[in-house]
Structure formats: structure tokens, C-alpha cells
């Protein structure tokens, strides 16, 4: 009887390990697959030998006890001491101080000299990135003719969308039940390609005070919309796995386009119903997307300063639509397990080639308890590499593909604070403390073709 139970347990274990090995092979995670295979051999051998050698009954029993204890640890809902919530900023910020605005300043112009007169502290760090070849320059380390031209094409297409961020609303106002409309907008966003969508009330601290990009530079931002609809779009795992090489910038540019197109469509749809709506897309934001998405319940802001979503981690792009149409806001689900995981995990800080991510604890910055990355160091690396890097994004344990294996692990991470700490170590063991960049997806260019075009 005992033997039969142990043999059945051994069979279940074999199936579980086989599934995990197959998933890891499909993910092209050779190291994880090998470690799983090795562990499976050690764990399963005693169960297969117990029919012939009775001694293995004791060994199998002991092993089953250990495995079952780990399983209980995994299932038990032990929240532990929750980390302090991040809180919200006291006010909005001026977009002109962001690195994306500063990089657009043209030397020998009045705007350029005015800016550095007001912010002399930014002059020397900005001079450093200005000496580098620049994002998508063919003089950079990861230059790839086709890849960079593809990314340029995606960014150019995003710029064509700018004309649609705002527009005239229909004069025929159509009153709709907010509940049905909210459901419809979220479902349609998903149908258009979004992973998830959430709604929050627009707050002053979400908004930039003054615009810092393009023609809007220096204009005060007035946005009195009541609601913000945030949604996420997935960045492809295979493309991002080549980070910091060319596929990463191809993918991020393309997903700026996909998320932007969805935002423009939703804003247009709302205007058709007779209400104001504005889309917030790449280079045309009036607000800080990760903050809005966090308040809309889509995730938490982690160590690397990006939104970590529960199922796709930071491997997402965000776009937002603000509007006055009556909607039902989401009840913010503070997932404190994400912040707690970040407290124990330093992976993004370890892999960052620019050492731009802090390894220390969160600190108070303008009313929020958070980590602040060194955006100058990060952007300087982009200007040297030619891509937007993304090494932190793809190395984050939350960014693994959303499949059975990682869903199971994420459940344990969410439920149990002890398992959370084990999972940080397991991720290093299975995927490496500094995961290696993977090959380009085969469709991009073969190695010999790459040499010709680099
Ligand atoms: S994108 Fe690259 S350089 Fe920037 S913070 Fe992430 S890992 Fe560091
Ligand atoms: S890599 Fe680790 S520390 Fe960095 S954002 Fe992801 S979970 Fe947090």
C-alpha cells in the first residue's frame, strides 16, 4: 500500500518535472531545462528503485516529506510584514526636466541656454550623452542596419498618429450606462491587442505641469478630464531576450505604435459618443503613464522605476486615454507582494550595464517612497549602444512568459512571503544572476547576413 502511494507520488513528480522541462526548452532557457533535468533525476530515481530495493522506501518517504512541506509552504497564505505603500507624489512634475525632453534640446538655441541656466546641475551629465553617437545611430555598438531602420519606421508611424490624439467631439451626445460602457471599452481594448485595461480618476499628480516635447514645449498643461483609462500591450519575449541588441528597440518602438494606435482608436470612439477624450501616446504625453496605470490597478512600480504587472512584469508598454465620459473606476488592488519581492530582489540593479538602478532601499522622493534610477546614466548607455537596452526589463523575474510554469511560481510568490524569498534565489539559480542575451529571432537576419549589414 505504502509502496503504491509512493510510486504514484513519483509518477506525479515525473509528470510535473517533464512539463517544466518542456516549457523551459520552448522558452529557449537551456540552463533552466538542464537544472530541472538534473534535479528530476536525483529526486525521481529513489521512487523508481523502491520496487527492487526496499531500502528506497525510507528514502522516498523522506523525499516525499520534504517535497510536501515545500508544497504546503507554497500553498499557505502567509503575507508576512507588508512593505510600506509607495504613496503618491505631492504634485505633478515639469516634463522639461525629464531626460526625454532634455535630449531634444538643440544646442545654440535660446531654449537650450535658458534650460541650462535654470538647471545647471543637468549640464555636465547631459554633455556626456551628447558626446555619444546616439539612439539608433549606425556608429553605436549594437548598430544593425535593418533593425534600426525598422525601429525608425515604427517611431515615424507613431508620429503620424499625433494628429489623432485630440479632436472634435460629436455634437450628438449619447448617454450610456457607465457600467456597460466601461465593460465595453475594456473588452474592446483587449480585442484591439491590449493585455489589460484599468480605469482611475485623474489626479493632479498624474499630470505634467508643463509640456516638454515637440511643439508643445513650454506650454502649461490643462487637462480637466475626470477619468484615465490605462492599458498595457505586451512586448514579445523572444525579441526582448536579445536585449540590449537591436531586436529590443525594434520591439519597444513597435509596441509604442500598437499601444498608441489603440489609444487613438479609443479616444476617437469616445468623441464619437459626444465626449471629450485625449490619447496619451509616445512623445505626446500629458501625464506619467506608469503612475496612472498603477492607480488603475494594473501593477506596482518596482525598483527599475517601471510598472510591474503581475503576469508580464515590466515587459509591457502603456498608453492612456483621458476623458470626461462617465465610467466606473477600478478598485485599486495594492499587490504588496510585488514591492516585497523587489525589496529582496536586486536583479535589475545587478544586470544594468550602466549601473543606473539603485541597490539600496526605497527613499522618500516628493511624497513617495520609491526607488529612483539614474536616468542620465541609463540614457548615456542607450546613446552608446544605439538601442533602448531593456536588459533590466527582460531580466526581471516577473517578465518570464505567462505560461503554466511561471503562473504556478507567481501564485506562490503572491501568497507566501517565505516562498517569495526562495523564488528570488531560484530565479538566480535557474536563469543566472546575470542572464545572458539570447540570439536574434531567426527571421531577423542570419549570422552571416548580420555581418554584412552591421
Ligand atoms: S534600460 Fe539598460 S541601462 Fe537603462 S536602467 Fe535598464 S538595464 Fe540599465
Ligand atoms: S528585477 Fe527584481 S528588483 Fe528589479 S524590478 Fe524586477 S523584481 Fe524588482
- The 10s digit of each residue's pLDDT in 12-42 is 999 999 999 999 999 999 999 999 999 999 9
Indicate yes or no: pTM above 0.75: yes
Residues 6+ apart with CB under 8 A from 310: 299, 335, 338, 398, 410, 414
Q: Do 129 and 240 belong to one domain?
A: yes
Measure the N-to-C terminal CA separation of the chain; round to a whole number of Å: 66
- Residues with beta carbon inside 6 Å of ligand 2? 302-304, 308, 341-342, 345-348, 396-398
Q: Do 245 and 343 belong to one domain?
A: yes
Q: Do 237 and 344 belong to one domain?
A: yes
Q: Do 19 and 159 belong to one domain?
A: no
Structural domain harbouring 59: 1-75
Q: Is it the case that residue 454 has pLDDT exceeding 70?
A: no
For the CA of 357, the nearest atom of ligand 2:
4
Pocket test residue of 302, 393, 399 for ligand 2, highest count of atoms within 8 A of CB: 302
Q: Among the three residues 395, 410, 431, which one is the final residue of a domain in this structure?
A: 395
The pLDDT of residue 6 is 86
- The 10s digit of each residue's pLDDT in 384-436 is 999 999 999 999 999 999 999 999 999 999 999 999 999 999 999 999 999 99
d(CA 339, CA 104) in angstroms, rounded, equals: 33
Q: Do 66 and 203 belong to one domain?
A: no
d(CA 208, CA 226) in angstroms, rounded, equals: 16
| Residue 408 counted as domain residue | no
Q: pLDDT class for 335, splitting at 50, 70, 90?
A: confident
d(CA 97, CA 125) in angstroms, rounded, equals: 13
Which ligand minimizes its atom distance to the CA of 303?
A: 2
Q: Do 287 and 376 belong to one domain?
A: yes
CB atoms within 10 A of CB 350: 15
The pLDDT of residue 450 is 55
d(CA 339, CA 86) in angstroms, rounded, equals: 9
How far, in Å, from the CA of 291 to the mean position of ligand 2?
Answer: 17
Number of domains in the chain: 2
Q: Do 101 and 70 belong to one domain?
A: no
Q: Is it the case that residue 174 has pLDDT exceeding 90?
A: no
- The 10s digit of each residue's pLDDT in 360-386 is 999 999 889 999 999 999 999 999 999
| Residue 175 counted as domain residue | yes
d(CA 222, CA 216) in angstroms, rounded, equals: 12
- The 10s digit of each residue's pLDDT in 131-165 is 999 999 999 999 999 999 999 999 999 999 999 99
Please tell me whether the peptide bond between 66 and the residue prior to it is cis, using omega within 30 degrees of 0: no
Q: Give the 3-state secondary structure of residue 451.
A: helix
- The 10s digit of each residue's pLDDT in 42-100 is 988 888 887 777 777 888 888 888 888 888 877 888 888 889 999 999 999 999 999 99
- The 10s digit of each residue's pLDDT in 103-113 is 999 999 999 99
- The 10s digit of each residue's pLDDT in 213-234 is 999 999 999 999 999 999 999 9
Pocket test residue of 347, 394, 435 for ligand 2, highest count of atoms within 8 A of CB: 347
Amino acid at each position: 500500500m505504502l509502496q503504491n502511494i509512493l510510486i504514484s507520488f513519483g509518477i506525479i513528480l515525473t509528470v510535473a518535472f517533464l512539463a517544466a522541462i518542456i516549457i523551459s526548452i520552448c522558452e529557449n532557457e537551456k540552463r533552466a531545462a538542464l537544472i530541472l533535468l538534473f534535479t528530476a533525476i536525483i529526486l525521481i530515481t529513489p521512487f523508481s528503485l523502491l520496487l527492487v530495493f526496499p531500502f528506497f522506501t525510507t528514502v522516498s518517504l523522506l523525499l516525499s516529506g520534504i517535497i510536501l512541506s515545500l508544497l504546503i509552504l507554497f500553498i499557505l497564505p502567509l503575507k508576512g510584514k507588508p512593505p510600506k505603500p509607495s504613496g503618491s507624489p505631492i504634485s505633478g512634475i515639469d516634463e522639461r526636466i525629464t531626460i526625454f525632453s532634455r535630449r531634444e534640446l538643440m544646442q545654440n538655441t535660446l531654449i537650450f541656454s535658458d534650460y541650462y541656466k535654470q538647471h545647471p546641475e543637468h549640464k555636465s551629465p547631459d554633455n556626456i550623452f551628447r558626446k555619444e553617437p546616439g539612439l539608433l545611430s549606425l556608429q553605436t555598438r549594437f548598430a544593425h542596419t535593418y533593425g534600426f531602420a525598422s525601429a525608425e519606421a515604427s517611431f515615424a508611424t507613431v508620429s503620424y498618429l499625433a494628429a489623432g490624439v485630440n479632436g472634435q467631439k460629436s455634437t450628438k451626445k449619447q448617454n450610456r450606462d457607465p457600467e456597460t460602457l466601461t465593460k465595453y471599452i475594456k473588452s474592446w481594448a483587449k480585442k484591439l491587442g491590449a493585455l489589460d485595461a484599468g480605469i482611475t480618476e485623474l489626479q493632479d499628480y498624474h499630470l505634467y505641469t508643463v509640456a516638454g516635447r515637440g511643439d508643445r514645449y513650454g506650454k502649461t498643461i490643462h487637462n480637466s478630464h475626470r477619468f484615465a483609462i490605462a492599458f498595457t500591450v505586451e512586448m514579445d519575449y523572444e525579441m526582448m531576450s536579445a536585449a540590449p541588441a537591436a531586436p529590443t528597440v525594434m520591439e519597444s518602438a513597435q509596441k509604442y505604435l500598437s499601444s498608441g494606435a489603440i489609444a487613438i482608436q479609443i479616444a476617437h470612439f469616445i468623441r464619437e459618443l459626444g465626449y471629450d477624450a485625449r490619447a496619451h501616446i509616445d512623445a505626446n504625453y500629458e501625464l506619467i503613464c506608469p503612475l496612472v496605470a498603477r492607480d488603475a490597478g494594473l501593477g506596482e512600480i518596482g525598483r527599475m522605476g517601471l510598472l510591474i504587472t503581475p503576469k508580464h512584469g515590466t515587459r509591457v508598454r502603456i498608453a492612456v486615454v483621458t476623458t470626461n465620459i462617465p465610467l466606473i473606476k477600478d478598485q485599486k488592488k495594492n499587490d504588496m507582494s510585488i514591492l516585497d519581492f523587489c525589496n529582496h530582489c536586486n536583479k535589475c540593479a545587478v544586470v544594468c550595464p550602466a549601473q543606473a538602478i539603485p541597490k539600496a532601499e526605497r527613499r522618500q522622493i516628493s511624497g513617495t517612497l520609491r526607488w529612483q534610477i539614474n536616468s542620465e546614466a541609463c540614457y548615456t548607455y542607450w546613446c552608446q549602444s544605439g538601442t533602448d537596452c531593456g536588459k533590466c526589463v527582460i531580466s526581471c523575474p516577473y517578465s518570464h512568459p505567462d505560461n503554466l510554469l511561471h503562473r504556478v511560481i507567481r501564485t506562490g510568490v503572491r501568497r507566501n512571503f517565505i516562498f517569495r524569498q526562495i523564488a528570488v534565489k531560484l530565479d538566480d539559480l535557474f536563469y543566472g544572476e546575470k542572464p545572458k542575451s539570447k540570439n536574434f529571432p531567426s527571421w531577423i537576419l542570419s549570422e552571416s547576413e548580420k555581418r554584412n549589414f552591421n
